[in-house]
Structure 1
Amino acid sequence: MRAALSIATVAALLGGPAAPAQVWRSDQGDGTYVNPPLNADYPDPDIIRVDADFYFVSTTFANVPGLTMLHSRDLVNWDIVSHLVSRLEGRPHYDLEAGGAYRRGIYAPSLRYRDGTFYVAFTPVGQHTRIYSARDPKGPWSHIELDREAFDPALFFDDDGQAYLASSIGTDGTVTLHTLDKGLTRIERSAVIHYNKGAEGTKIVKRQGWYYLFNSIPGKLALTVSRARSLRGPWEVRPQIDDTTGGHQGAIVDLPNGDFYGFVMLDAGPIGRVTNISPVFWRDDWPVWGTPEAPGRVPRRAPKPIPGEAFVEPPASDAFDAQDLGRQWQWNHNPVPALWSLSERPGWLRLKAAPGDQLWWARNTLLQKGQAPRGRGEIEVDPRGIRPGDVCGFGTFGKFSGQIAIVGLPDGTRALTMRVTESTVDGPRVDVRVASQPVRADRLWLRADMDFPAGRAILSYSEDGRRFTTLGDEVPLVYDWKTGTFQGVQFALSCYNPNGAGGHLDVDRFTLSRP
């Protein structure tokens, strides 16, 4: 997939100055877009339209705040509206106890809207299903918890107002329909309505008297659609698309003019799972992905679903001069509030050393999604608050986590190290690649260059912000749902101390750019 047009070219096409650029720009400025709209890890998508506005939620696992909601006016240009879950509750794993919760937490949310209220249903792994609600997508959100675990729940409101949850899990393929009470507080009855071998990730859509079940078939990386005149069947099933033609989990959303577009998740290598947007047309009351001229596949480039909307993107770079962290940031698990601050040194993020003997198990690691195809993350730091035993720095976070760190030595001096943590079935394994590079400067710049097509990152540092020195070998960029984080590789800011109490790292700014 080729990168988007240059910013200068886009600015010329738009007839105005260029907006601040991230790594990837889907909106080409000429009335077309290229897939994916967000070239980052936004898996298990669900998208709805409310009047002229589109809303998008996706899986966030153990990251906190969790369950990100985005907003768009054209399905191409997205910004982050809010995070619904401020803290994960109900298990010690979310506090990095009893083994941690990487690859668990929040999965496959389902988003719907009815009578002025937004609803999001999701099931934390191993816990009961929850239904969040709010009048405003920015919150505040409240929630109820049902009496059972409905895997990958699909919330659906029928024309008569009756609410349902459908659920299926890929190890089986049985689709169960749960009927909810009027207040969406409990399940009144449940019935098996369909069997689709290997199906999960259910979505329900109704159009012109037909009910449609969209299901992911993970074992085949494929998407199917089933249709029936009744929610209880009988259902006809047809294959739709797969990862060779565009993706394997998603559904469709209508436009104000009555057209439909599809949204679908694609496994995309170390960046994780991206969400593609595709035109959809109808043939004999079956949805067909793509266009009549090129059916059965998601286009690489296509006209924007709704023309004329302005370029928008989620925030990325951050000067840490606001009262709250930017919407782009998430912690690796529930943070310890006393161990970070934006107010103790205004204009700086202060990360205090959290207990932990290595990055994988350290609290208060601050994360931001990597962006493909290539992205450069850079931080500017003041290391003078680092104390003996502290390991504070910056790098990548995933199956292989590469960290360029400032280490506090016993004699009170500081040194740079480059270390790689590999997550394995036997637990994380740390390899210190470079040690004892003395630090004498009062200001340092740490950099991580991610090259997703090449599957590698390079870490470097500078004492003047201009001349950078590479530290250590290349770090692999790998997506691994079995032993990694189940996410695309992320940027990570961290500060921990194996001995417990320590000092702190002050971060002046984070900048994301094209290398």
Structure 2
Amino acid sequence: MTIKSSIALLGLSLAATTLPAQVWRADQGDGTYRNPVLFADYPDPDIIRVGEDFYFITTTFANAPGMTILHSKDLVNWQIADHLMDRLEGNPRYDLSDGGDYRRGFFAASMRYHKGTFYVAVSPIGLNTRIYRANSPTGPWTYTELDRHAFDPALFFEDDGQAYLMTSIGTDGTVTLLTMNEDVTKITASKVVHYNKGAEGSKIIKRAGWYYLFNALPSKLALSVSRARSLQGPWETRPQIDDTSGGHQGALVDLANGQWAGFVMVDAGSIGRMTNISPVYWQDDWPIWGTPDAPGRVPDRAPKPIMGHPFAEPPASDDFSASTLGLQWQWNHNPDDRRWSLRERPGFLRLHATQADRLWTARNTLTQKGQGPGSRAIVKVDMRGLRTGDVCGVGTFGKISAQLSIVGSDKGRRALTMMVTDSTEDGPRTETRVASVPVSGQTLWLRTDMDFVRDEGRVAYSRDGRKWTGVGDHFPLKFDWRTGTFQGQQFALSCYNARPDGGYIDIDSFTLSPLPEAVEEARP
């Protein structure tokens, strides 16, 4: 399977279907599903089963709250259960100081359940590995820090309760087994047990007396599996699948009926890295992805692993009437909680201008994932609180950050400005700034379109929510792990000012919908 070819065939035909939140619906309603199960950036998956429930933890880098945990009954219909941490701890850069920690932070966690406790092993970049634990997947979570950094750690509990971590880093491929103490707070032994050139993203399962070690091979965009009769080895390794046949980082999860399913991440262009679910069967005690009729590839469409559960999805649209932000929202780093509120004006999200000279260094930029194959965000704002120098608006955030912002100036004048910034290894640089469009009054609607088939976006505004005027030309959508945020393109709400005495913008609603096939609007 190739995601791009699947997208091209589907086009934007989903525009005629109205869904409550997601643009893409994996559950076909006829006992089958299609991949990806979530058409958005949910990278570095680890999925476990606890009874009849599945839990999926995914990478969020420097976003806060950090490390999203999803829940499903059937591996197809997912909802957000919670996040591992409300705020990121241990590095002042998590507060967006000294350029922030974009592309770093927390990623590639390993989740396990043992004797009534949920465990998560995760290694923040530049810090020692942490073992989080809780009695519920919704927390509260506490953690213990170990005495070393274990890259992409794989947590595993033996049948007798002994805990281990397996770790390797792609720049090498040496696979090391770390033995843990009884309460999983310390490493008591370390031993090199295998070598698999370029291997990282380790995951371990056990079946029928065999241990299986899954590893991503990023340089090849491929997934390998190794097996042994003992965690100490010797291990023998075989290729599994790659991004042309389904993905390159993942493993297997067991079903209650004794069958197995595979989960795997695939690089999919500007939308980021998405997770596919695949049937898996066994041949000579080796796992084979797909079906006997089509072995060695993740199917575009397949029977649901578990039947009978209703459609479910993460939230997306928001009228900001709740007392807390929806679980779909994440700040670009730890927020300054003094500079935003849901209570100052009930029914609105108030973003006070944070002091910054550009979007990249502005705290309190609120993001959620772009959704494929194409999605449209419409934000209704009240701009009466803006002051001179405020830059407040909506757009994309990531490798390409394109913001349609209302800029406050002297004597209460306001103008719309569209700015496109491309992130490089040396930091973001401004590529395009569109001449200002004067606006007045109280209410304005701002719109951002992201088309992941064509890898391009567009912004527009409206004075009445019906008649739209485009600002600027189409801009590219991109993904690059070396630059930007190491995430797919996100929708972003922002408000900043180079001066410390900025005002605020009130956001009435954020509405996400499928992207219409044809986008027509007037030009200023």
> Normalization by structure 1: what TM-score?
0.97
2:274 is matched with 274
Which 4+ residue blocks in structure 1 deviate beyond 4 angstroms? Answer: 2-10
Mapped pair 1:474 → 2:487: no
Q: Shift of the alpha carbon at 1:500?
A: 2.1
2:211 is matched with 211
Q: Shift of the alpha carbon at 1:20?
A: 1.8
Q: Deviations over 1:31-59 (max 9, x none)?
A: 10000000000000000000100000011
CA distance in 1, matches of 2:422, 2:354: 20
Look up the SS of the partner of 1:472 in the other structure. Answer: strand
Look up the SS of the partner of 1:226 in the other structure. Answer: strand
Q: Deviations over 1:305-351 (max 9, x none)?
A: 00111000000000000000000000000100000000000000000
Mapped pair 1:360 → 2:347: no
Q: Shift of the alpha carbon at 1:5?
A: 11
Look up the SS of the partner of 2:434 in the other structure. Answer: strand
CA distance in 2, matches of 1:418, 1:369: 21
1:159 is matched with 159
Look up the SS of the partner of 1:270 in the other structure. Answer: helix
CA pair 5-331 structure 1, distance change in 2 beyond 3 A: closer
CA pair 491-324 structure 1, distance change in 2 beyond 3 A: same
Written as runs of structure 1 = structure 2, the 5 A alignment for 1:330-409 is: 330-409=330-409
Look up the SS of the partner of 1:471 in the other structure. Answer: strand
1:238 is matched with 238
CA distance in 1, matches of 2:430, 2:196: 43
For the Cα contact (< 8 Å) 2:14–2:514, is it kept in 1?
no
CA pair 9-333 structure 1, distance change in 2 beyond 3 A: closer
1:47 is matched with 47
- AA aligned opposite 1:163: A
Q: Shift of the alpha carbon at 1:282?
A: 0.1
- AA aligned opposite 2:193: I
Look up the SS of the partner of 1:338 in the other structure. Answer: helix
Q: Shift of the alpha carbon at 1:501?
A: 2.4
Q: Shift of the alpha carbon at 1:90?
A: 1.6
Written as runs of structure 1 = structure 2, the 5 A alignment for 1:422-501 is: 422-501=422-501
For the Cα contact (< 8 Å) 2:213–2:227, is it kept in 1?
yes
Look up the SS of the partner of 2:411 in the other structure. Answer: coil
- AA aligned opposite 1:503: G
2:113 is matched with 113
CA distance in 2, matches of 1:475, 1:340: 29
2:134 is matched with 134
2:58 is matched with 58
CA pair 497-156 structure 1, distance change in 2 beyond 3 A: same
Written as runs of structure 1 = structure 2, the 5 A alignment for 1:261-340 is: 261-340=261-340
Q: Shift of the alpha carbon at 1:426?
A: 2.5
2:123 is matched with 123
- AA aligned opposite 1:286: W
1:227 is matched with 227
Higher relative contact order structure (alpha carbons within 8 Å, sequence separation ≥ 6): 2
1:198 is matched with 198
For the Cα contact (< 8 Å) 2:352–2:505, is it kept in 1?
yes
1:99 is matched with 99
Q: Shift of the alpha carbon at 1:424?
A: 1.3
- AA aligned opposite 2:402: G
- AA aligned opposite 2:504: H
Q: Shift of the alpha carbon at 1:7?
A: 8.1
Q: Deviations over 1:221-279 (max 9, x none)?
A: 00000000000000110000000100000000011101100000000000000000000
Q: Shift of the alpha carbon at 1:95?
A: 1.2
1:13 is matched with none
Q: Shift of the alpha carbon at 1:79?
A: 0.2
CA distance in 2, matches of 1:495, 1:54: 38
CA distance in 2, matches of 1:410, 1:182: 65
For the Cα contact (< 8 Å) 1:360–1:421, is it kept in 2?
no
2:76 is matched with 76
> Normalization by structure 2: what TM-score?
0.95
CA distance in 2, matches of 1:514, 1:377: 9
- AA aligned opposite 2:127: Q
Q: Shift of the alpha carbon at 1:411?
A: 2.9
CA distance in 2, matches of 1:33, 1:4: 18
- AA aligned opposite 1:410: D
For the Cα contact (< 8 Å) 2:11–2:453, is it kept in 1?
no
CA distance in 2, matches of 1:9, 1:37: 20
CA pair 326-211 structure 1, distance change in 2 beyond 3 A: same
CA distance in 1, matches of 2:418, 2:11: 33
- AA aligned opposite 2:203: K
Q: Shift of the alpha carbon at 1:499?
A: 1.2
2:254 is matched with 254
Look up the SS of the partner of 2:435 in the other structure. Answer: strand
1:415 is matched with 415
For the Cα contact (< 8 Å) 2:386–2:503, is it kept in 1?
yes
Q: Shift of the alpha carbon at 1:412?
A: 2.2
Q: Shift of the alpha carbon at 1:398?
A: 1.1
CA distance in 1, matches of 2:325, 2:16: 32
Q: Deviations over 1:473-511 (max 9, x none)?
A: 112100011111100000000000011220000000000
For the Cα contact (< 8 Å) 1:3–1:24, is it kept in 2?
no
CA distance in 1, matches of 2:64, 2:436: 34
Percent of matched pairs sharing the same residue: 67
For the Cα contact (< 8 Å) 1:47–1:111, is it kept in 2?
yes
CA pair 308-251 structure 1, distance change in 2 beyond 3 A: same
CA distance in 2, matches of 1:482, 1:411: 43
For the Cα contact (< 8 Å) 2:12–2:374, is it kept in 1?
no
CA distance in 1, matches of 2:220, 2:351: 43
CA distance in 1, matches of 2:274, 2:15: 26
Q: Shift of the alpha carbon at 1:19?
A: 5.9
CA distance in 1, matches of 2:246, 2:187: 35
1:15 is matched with none
For the Cα contact (< 8 Å) 1:5–1:28, is it kept in 2?
no
Look up the SS of the partner of 1:446 in the other structure. Answer: strand
Moved more, 285-294 or 411-420: 411-420
CA pair 432-409 structure 1, distance change in 2 beyond 3 A: farther
For the Cα contact (< 8 Å) 1:354–1:501, is it kept in 2?
no
Q: Shift of the alpha carbon at 1:432?
A: 4.7
For the Cα contact (< 8 Å) 1:359–1:421, is it kept in 2?
no
CA distance in 2, matches of 1:331, 1:147: 30
Q: Shift of the alpha carbon at 1:9?
A: 10
Look up the SS of the partner of 2:75 in the other structure. Answer: coil
Q: Deviations over 1:349-391 (max 9, x none)?
A: 0000001101111000000000010000110000010000000
Q: Shift of the alpha carbon at 1:107?
A: 1.2
| Number of positions where the alignment pairs a residue of Structure 1 with one of Structure 2 | 508
Structure 1: gaps of 5 or more residues? 11-17
Moved more, 417-426 or 462-471: 417-426
CA distance in 2, matches of 1:317, 1:9: 18
- AA aligned opposite 1:214: F
For the Cα contact (< 8 Å) 1:4–1:26, is it kept in 2?
no
Mapped pair 1:37 → 2:37: yes
